[in-house]
Chains A and B, each alone.
Chain A
Amino acid sequence: SKKNVAHDEL
């Protein structure tokens, strides 16, 4: 699944 998952957590 082409989701732009931006991980904002460390």
Chain B
Amino acid sequence: MNVFRFLGDLSHLVAIVILLLKIWKTRSCSGISGRSQILFAIVFTTRYLDLFSNFISVYNTSMKIVYITCSYATVYLIYGKFKATYDFNHDTFRIEFLLVPSAILAFLVNHDFSPLEILWTFSIYLESVAILPQLFLVSKTGEAETITSHYLFALGSYRLLYLLNWLWRYFSQGFYDLIALLSGILQTVLYCDFFYLYISKVLKGKKLSLPA
């Protein structure tokens, strides 16, 4: 464990908790893409199937349980409890265009052709594009609530910090994983224009609005 990975996990946890609290406190999921949240629930489910079979540390197991629990709770709040506030008119990104290619690629490019490893690879590929429905929704509505932009900033920072973690691990212990690295680079690149808007607008107290 190094500081970048720890900060990355912390940033990821903060993002997940911010979103859950936003929906719960405001009793509304306006501006939130339920489709992205479904993809994140699939990412955690397919990645953490070894939750009970492969014990790494208390930290690892507890974080996995928190991620899975929170992601399913978020999906439930969006499609169950507060579905009246769900913006189904704008949350229309075709997630099958993300699921199918990720699944096909996971079969073609992986470290080991075993069920667990193919599912892990699928979750890595899917996670790299899982935010697209959310970014699509923000572009369609043309703006995002400030709390939603904080959520996106924390979520985008998590994988950026993981890129630094892999840089650190490469130079300190020669470790590298091209599948995770390339997916992580794509994932982070998708946030670039958002990061620019966040830093140039939200941090100056303005609302995040995309140029019309």
Q: Which of B9, B63, B112, B180 contacts A1 (CB 8 A)?
A: B112
**A6: chain B residues within 8 A (beta carbon):** 54, 56
Interfacial residues of chain A within 1-10, with CB under 8 A of chain B in the complex:
1-10
**A5: chain B residues within 8 A (beta carbon):** 111-112, 117
CA distance A9 to B111 in the complex (A): 15
Docked-complex contact A10 and B63, CB < 8 angstroms: yes
Docked-complex contact A1 and B64, CB < 8 angstroms: no
Classify the secondary structure of A's interface with B. Answer: loop
- Chain B contact patch, size range: 10 to 19
List the B residue with the shortest CB-CB distance to A6: B54
B35 is an interface residue with CB less than 8 A from chain A: no
Interfacial residues of chain B within 95-135, with CB under 8 A of chain A in the complex:
111-112, 117, 120
Docked-complex contact B54 and A1, CB < 8 angstroms: no
List the A residue with the shortest CB-CB distance to B111: A5
**A7: chain B residues within 8 A (beta carbon):** 50, 120
Q: Mask for B144-172, Cβ within 8 A of A = 1, else 0?
A: 00000000000000000010010000000
CA distance A4 to B120 in the complex (A): 13
Docked-complex contact B117 and A9, CB < 8 angstroms: no
Interfacial residues of chain B within 4-28, with CB under 8 A of chain A in the complex:
5, 9, 12
Q: Which of A3, A8, A9, A10 contacts B112 (CB 8 A)?
A: A3
B67 is an interface residue with CB less than 8 A from chain A: yes
* Cross-chain pairs A/B with CB under 8 angstroms, 14 sampled: A1-B111, A3-B111, A5-B111, A5-B112, A7-B50, A8-B56, A8-B60, A9-B5, A9-B180, A10-B9, A10-B12, A10-B60, A10-B63, A10-B64
Residues of A within 8 A of B (CB): 1-10
Counting from the closest, the 8 A-B pairs by CB-CB distance are A5-B111, A8-B56, A3-B112, A10-B63, A10-B9, A5-B112, A3-B111, A7-B120
